């Protein structure tokens, strides 16, 4: 029998496992606390558990964390962690400090298969999905790298891959992050970003996870969005925004619209006006992301006056809009820059 991966197990399932090993169910809750609160991954080191149970658990299950292969530190304090799994696949996770918050950007796939023209990760193509345990393992490794006094406050699913194309593992990992018996993060502090898979957005709405949703729009017409994002062929703007309108938002929360500003492509005042009209009646905020360059991109960041004018045009029409100056750009850790060339061979 192959070893069971503990990081793939929800707290209820850990209780079932404890019971199957002849222990009371509450021992499963203790295992969850050791894993997710204390970061202890060796069952034999879980000192308040009976020795016989620890030995049985160690024989039946294991915890497999990705190796932290290297860390690239940016001038702004961000850190890009290059993480390597047992099969040699590598992903990036990024720690981003900002005033009193510390955000971890997670990956859900090795590479990405959606081919967005402005995204460096898309050049990798899709290599494989991550399991729920491989996703939350990034959190444990990142937390283990923090200096004394640092505390992870927010998690965003905005790294390599499309979270909703790896739906089951993404949802399971979200439950692990937000379950009070596991990581215990507030759903208000967790955000899932998607290229706009309308059907999966509606499915996610039924999960009652209460996490934040960010949707990559990046254009105000289907013609432009279709050139930038092949996914628009299956889920054009009207269908995508219809799914967004049906997404349940807790009181005082908004859906985030991500919009990468590309010089002379989607950054004109008429683009801003069309975008404002599209978003009429939606409780949203728009994140304007000036393009982060990479070699061979074929796009450029608009000059600052055009960025400011685009934002102003949205604000004048009652649309909340902020400019997100991406962190970690000097180490290739900014939005749209994550890519890992090699797999071990």
pLDDT, tens digit (0-9, with 9 covering 90-100), for 141-154: 999 999 888 999 99
pLDDT tens per residue, range 56-105: 999 999 999 999 999 999 888 899 999 999 999 999 999 999 989 999 99
d(CA 52, CA 50): 6
Q: How many residues does the chain have?
A: 345
Which residue intervals of the chain bear CATH 1.10.150.530? 4-62
Class of domain 67-331 as given by CATH: alpha beta
Distance CA 285, CA 299 (A): 25
Q: Where in the chain is the domain with CATH 3.20.20.70?
A: 67-331
Rounded (5°) CA angle 30-33-35: 110
Q: State which H helix or E strand residue 305 sits in.
A: helix 304-316
pLDDT along the chain (345 residues), means of 10: 91 98 98 95 96 97 96 91 96 94 97 94 94 98 93 96 98 98 97 98 96 98 98 98 95 95 98 98 96 90 97 98 72 48 40
Output the CATH code of domain 4-62.
Answer: 1.10.150.530
């Amino acid at each position: 029998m192959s070893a069971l991966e503990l990081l793939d197990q929800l707290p209820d399932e850990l209780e079932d496992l404890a019971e199957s090993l002849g222990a009371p169910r509450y021992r499963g809750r203790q295992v969850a606390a050791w894993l997710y609160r204390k970061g202890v991954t060796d069952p034999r080191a879980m000192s308040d558990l009976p020795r016989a149970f620890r030995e049985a658990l160690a024989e039946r299950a294991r915890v497999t964390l990705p190796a932290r292969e290297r860390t690239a530190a940016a001038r702004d304090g961000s850190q890009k962690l290059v993480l390597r799994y047992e099969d040699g696949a590598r992903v990036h996770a990024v720690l981003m400090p900002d005033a009193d918050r510390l955000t971890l950007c997670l990956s859900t796939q090795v590479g990405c298969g959606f081919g967005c023209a402005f995204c460096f990760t898309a050049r990798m193509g899709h290599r494989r999905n991550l399991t729920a345990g491989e996703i939350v393992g990034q959190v444990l490794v990142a937390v283990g790298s923090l200096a004394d006094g640092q505390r992870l406050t927010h998690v965003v699913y905005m790294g390599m891959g499309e979270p909703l194309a790896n739906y089951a593992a993404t949802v399971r990992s979200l439950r692990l992050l937000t379950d009070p018996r596991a990581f215990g993060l507030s759903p208000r502090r967790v955000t899932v970003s998607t290229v706009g898979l309308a059907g999966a957005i509606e499915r996610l709405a039924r999960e009652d996870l209460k996490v934040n949703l960010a949707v990559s729009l990046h254009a105000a017409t289907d013609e432009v969005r279709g050139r930038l994002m092949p996914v628009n062929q299956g889920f054009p703007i009207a269908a995508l925004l219809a799914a967004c309108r049906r997404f349940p938002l807790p009181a005082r929360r908004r859906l985030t619209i991500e919009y990468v500003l590309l010089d002379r492509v989607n950054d004109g005042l008429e683009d801003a006006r069309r975008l404002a009209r599209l978003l009429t009646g939606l409780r949203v905020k728009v994140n304007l992301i000036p393009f982060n360059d990479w070699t061979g991109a074929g796009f450029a960041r608009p000059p600052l006056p055009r960025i400011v004018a685009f934002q102003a045009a949205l604000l004048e029409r009652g649309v909340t809009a902020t400019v997100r100056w991406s962190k970690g750009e000097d180490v290739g850790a900014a939005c749209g820059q994550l890519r890992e060339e090699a797999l071990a061979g």
